[in-house]
Amino acid sequence: MKQTYYLDYNATTPVAPEVWQQMEPLLREQYGNPSSVHHSGKAASKVVRQARVKVAELLGADEREIIFTSCGSESNNAAIRSALATNPGKKQIVTSRVEHSSVKKLGKYLTEEGYEFYEVGVTAQGFLNIDELRHVVSEKTAIVSLMLANNETGVFFPVNEIGGFLKEKGIMFHVDGVQAVGKHPLNLKESPVDFFSASAHKLYGPKGIGCLYVKKNTPFRPFIAGGSQERGRRAGTENVAGIAGFGAACELALKDLPEEIQRLKSLRRYFEDTLMKGPHGIVVNGDLNRRLPTTSNLRFPGVDGESLLMALDQKGICISSGSACTSGSTEPSHVLKAMGLTDDESKSSVRFSFGRYTTEETIREVLVILQDTLGALKESSKRNRLMEPRPEAAF
């Protein structure tokens, strides 16, 4: 079987063995409903309680501030919709041009519903234009929603500084922390953040489980109405195995967070430094220092990102292009475009993202395959250019 080199950890991560161990019995024999009063229900309720404590610990929160949801996208939608419901006179939502589609697409719907959805720009390094944000927010702003770390470039936004300023203005603040959780130290109790989204599948937990942190005393209106699960804040029978997996994933992340950050930083340095020394003129998209240790978004001038992705896939390497596929056509990444890259520059960019199971050996082998592939792609595009028909004579 062909070897797989998985370098797409920002898209999703494998379930860690430590996590699966906690989940398996809950899927097999301990299947009680946490709302049931019998012993099986009580056991399930205890599992949920214990996991909530572990999630809260990683986020630096109180466990009563954690609402389990189905995913990061739901958490993002729930936070923004709640702020609008609890601030009925305020009709503006402020976010950035580089947010995840779960915020961007919601913005489209909200505009159709009569809200103003304003997207603040970013610099060439991917930083938020803070002056523009300060200028645009006002008494009509219901909520500001920003990522902590960008999924494509890894670049951090200074959410503590921004939140402090918004607190003075009495504006609610939501942070999409989906990419940062488990990869960056957090202390939400001490931060000026009202809502914070997380998703288990980005940190070696299962898919289909996430959470929304809602700071104590923040008004909240449920996104999903129904039963009184999650203290009346999110209806629906709990995904007990998923929640247990999320808790186990948070416990695992907390165990070696500083060491893992350093390890990944040094692997990435080795990866990028080696590539930069090569002949391909590779450029890093986004700020070199203030970004997630997992992420390396690279531009390969003169190379089509999609072709590179496909060629690497054939050799067992999984990465992402900086482009999103929309109904069959490849659109340049909205993140890279917001940073000022041309369509061509954006389309020649791809994202490598590293994680817990990426070793130095993985990187070394990937570098060899990547350099060969780049050489072959450049050679074939040179041949294609030579074979292009010459323009016809003018007469």
**Which residues have a catalytic role annotated?**
325
Burial of 131 (0-12, 13-18, 19+ CB in 10 A): exposed
Q: Which stretch binds ligand PLP (CB under 6 A): 68-76, 81-89, 109-117, 133-141?
A: 68-76
Nearer to ligand PLP, 22 or 102 (CB): 102
Cβ atoms 191, 210 nearer than 8 A? no
Closest chain position to ligand PLP (CB):
72
Q: What is the DSSP string of 320-369?
A: EESSEEETTEEEPPHHHHHTT--HHHHHTEEEEE--TT--HHHHHHHHHH
The yes or no reply on residue 199 touching ligand PLP (CB under 6 A) is yes
The yes or no reply on residue 72 touching ligand PLP (CB under 6 A) is yes
The yes or no reply on residue 191 touching ligand PLP (CB under 6 A) is no
- Smallest distance, ligand PLP to C-beta of residue 360, A: 26
- How far, rounded to the nearest angstrom, does the alpha carbon of residue 233 sit from its chain's CA centroid? 24
Cβ atoms 145, 95 nearer than 8 A? yes
Out of 179, 239, 294, 348, name the contact with ligand PLP by CB under 6 A.
179
Sheet holding 66-69, edge to edge: 66-69, 210-214, 195-199, 172-176, 141-147, 92-96, 116-120
Q: Could you say which residues in the range 73-132 bind ligand PLP, by CB under 6 A? A: 73, 76, 100, 102
The yes or no reply on residue 178 touching ligand PLP (CB under 6 A) is yes
Nearer to ligand PLP, 15 or 303 (CB): 15
The yes or no reply on residue 210 touching ligand PLP (CB under 6 A) is yes
Q: SS3 letters for 204-227?
A: CCCCCCEEEEECCCCCCCCCCCCC
- Smallest distance, ligand PLP to C-beta of residue 176, A: 5
Out of 176, 238, 251, 260, name the contact with ligand PLP by CB under 6 A.
176
Cα dist. 238→66, 67, 208, 210, 223 in Å? 13, 11, 11, 11, 15
Coil, strand or helix at 158: coil
Nearer to ligand PLP, 93 or 374 (CB): 93
Nearer to ligand PLP, 210 or 242 (CB): 210
- Smallest distance, ligand PLP to C-beta of residue 233, A: 18
Cα–Cα nearest to 52, from 34, 39, 36: 34
Nearer to ligand PLP, 32 or 206 (CB): 206
Nearer to ligand PLP, 8 or 62 (CB): 8
Nearer to ligand PLP, 176 or 260 (CB): 176
Angstrom distance (rounded) from CA 26 to CA 13: 21
Cα dist. 58→53, 68, 127, 213 in Å? 9, 14, 26, 12
Alpha-carbon torsion, ordered 155, 201, 219, 165, to 10 deg:
-10
- Smallest distance, ligand PLP to C-beta of residue 351, A: 11
The yes or no reply on residue 183 touching ligand PLP (CB under 6 A) is no
Q: Which stretch binds ligand PLP (CB under 6 A): 133-141, 175-183, 238-246, 263-271?
A: 175-183
Nearer to ligand PLP, 191 or 199 (CB): 199
The yes or no reply on residue 147 touching ligand PLP (CB under 6 A) is yes
**Count, residues near ligand PLP per rule CB under 6 A:** 13
The yes or no reply on residue 71 touching ligand PLP (CB under 6 A) is yes
The yes or no reply on residue 295 touching ligand PLP (CB under 6 A) is no
Q: Which stretch binds ligand PLP (CB under 6 A): 29-37, 71-79, 105-113, 303-311?
A: 71-79
Coil, strand or helix at 395: coil
- Smallest distance, ligand PLP to C-beta of residue 11, A: 7
Angstrom distance (rounded) from CA 199 to CA 253: 13
Angstrom distance (rounded) from CA 317 to CA 358: 12
3-state helix, strand, coil in the chain (%, to 5): 45, 15, 40
| Interface ranges with ligand PLP (CB under 6 A) | 71-73, 76, 100, 102, 147, 151, 176, 178-179, 199, 210
